[in-house]
Chain A
Amino acid sequence: MMQDHDNRFDDGEAGGRRQFLKCMAWAGAGTLWMMKSGVLRAHPLGDAPVVKGSTFSFVQISDSHIGFHKAPNPDVIGTLRRSLAMINAQEVRPAFLLHTGDLTHLSKPEEFDTLNGLMQEARVGQRFYVPGEHDVIGDNGAEFFRRFGEKQHTGGWYSFDQDGVHFVGLINVLNLKAGGLGSLGADQLAWLKSDLAGLSAETPVVVFAHMPLWPLYPQWGWGTDDSGEALSYLRRFGSVTVLNGHIHQIQQKVEGSITFYTARSTAYPQPAPGDGPGPGPLQSVTAQALHRYLGIRDVRHVQTGGGLAVTDEVLA
């Protein structure tokens, strides 16, 4: 049951890697992903080669769902705290922390305040956020943006640079249409196009948004209607990394020079795509096993290869 949960890979060399990762899931350990020129290699955390030449690192966490209080996790504050403690235990202090959405369960002001307070416990240089659909209920994200918005543009999207890597935070959980998936919208796409226009193709680009920016499992709403247009602006770059949340499990896919990753939740897992009648909390997970499904993601930038090494750690 558990070993199939977070390991499904779509790239060509997946056979041995899938088997290897199944073992990793059972052991509750993490995986170090090294990406160079769009090619990924996996290493178990314990045996991972030291990533020499790292100029900086950052951590991704996702789907904290503050306010959720049912099976399989009645203590989402506690599990978020454990995730933040893992970040604080990193040998090198991460440059920043990305939260890829669903900070809260129901967009309540007190849930946002709780999350905001907890995030101050992370010893990182900066914190960046994008909203999930749970963060924009009833007010189109007003409470979210008031606290966590970067305020570069009225739509809430933004970009920044860190040691030669260009980061783009996109919002794909607003103005959703009946029967549709996540949506970026024409205004945001026009901005993205112009934001990327001045960059050389050698610039490593990291794009992050809550919902997957590829059709991961549209039947469950796991995708973004107009992500194809966004990706068309990114294909000319030699190294593109797309980081998403939303589905509470690790999925990854390589498409040319673009590598897509979804992150674990700090709160609760969801079923693998198509496994069961629908998405939602995987309630069969016991309290003892829960930590194996939750975790953080650590990304180090290696200057020499222009690539990124992505590590997923569970709350072991």
Chain B
Amino acid sequence: MKAARMLTMGIALCGAALCSAADVAPAQKQQVAIQNFAFEPKTLTVPVGTRVVWTNRDEEPHVVTSAGAQFVSSKALDGGDSYGVTFSKAGTYTYYCSIHPMMVGTIIVK
């Protein structure tokens, strides 16, 4: 059920011109919550081409910052704001909150 819903969302995203025509497999979308000064899940493993969307559930602002600038960092996310990154290459992407650096998370793209 959940997988089917994500597939639907992936197709919808492609429809919104976020996928190039060359992409065969529909993009998937995965969520990371920012809650209580932590990324949840802390480690997320996704297939290549997945769009990861972080949503700030805290009242405090947070920033999704790539360690080593492997992907574009977010602007300040106020409570309720979201930020998405599509991971098109396999690898391990460590990220943190630049204003609360003890908040660390990892995206593993396979």
Contacts and interface: CB of A to CB of B under 8 A. Distances in A.
A and B found bound together: yes
Interface of A: 70-71, 105-107, 133-134, 136-138, 173, 176-181, 218-221, 277-281, 283
Given A280-B58, A281-B59, A181 B102 contact: yes
A222 to B, nearest CB: 9
B29 to A, nearest CB: 25
B76 A106 contact: yes
Contacts of B37: 220-221, 277-280
Given A106-B78, A178-B94, A178-B96, A280 B60 contact: yes
A106 B61 contact: yes
Given A179-B101, A180-B101, A221-B102, A137 B36 contact: no
A137 B99 contact: yes
Given A106-B78, A137-B63, A281-B59, A179 B98 contact: no
**Top 9 closest pairs, chain A to chain B, by CB:** A178-B96, A278-B37, A277-B36, A133-B99, A176-B101, A278-B36, A221-B102, A137-B76, A178-B67
A101 B94 CA distance: 28
Contacts of A106: 61, 76, 78
A107 B100 CA distance: 15
Would you call the interface of chain B mostly helix, strand, loop, or mixed? loop
Contacts of B38: 278
A221 B61 contact: no
B79 A178 contact: no
Contacts of A134: 61, 99
Interface string B52-84: 000000111101010100000001101100000
Contacts of B75: 137-138
Interface residues of B, number: 23
Contacts of A177: 101
Given A70-B79, A219-B102, A280-B37, 13 more contacts: A137-B76, A137-B98, A137-B99, A178-B65, A178-B94, A180-B102, A181-B101, A181-B102, A220-B37, A221-B37, A277-B37, A278-B58, A283-B59
B61 A176 contact: no
7 contacts: A133-B100, A137-B98, A177-B101, A178-B67, A220-B102, A278-B37, A280-B59
A12 to B, nearest CB: 30
A199 B60 CA distance: 41
Nearest to A223: B102
Contacts, number: 67
B95 A178 contact: yes
Given A179-B96, A277-B36, A138 B76 contact: yes
Contacts of B27: none
Contacts of A221: 37, 100-102
A280 B60 CA distance: 6
B107 interface: no
B32 interface: no
Nearest to A268: B59
A178 B36 contact: no
Contacts of B100: 133, 221
A134 B98 CA distance: 10
Interface in B4-36: 36
B76 A107 contact: yes
Nearest to B73: A138
Nearest to B75: A138
A4 to B, nearest CB: 20
A105 B79 contact: no
Nearest to B103: A221
Contacts of A220: 37, 102
Contacts of B94: 178
A155 to B, nearest CB: 18
B72 to A, nearest CB: 12
A138 B63 CA distance: 9
Interface string B87-105: 0000000111011111010
A178 B76 CA distance: 17
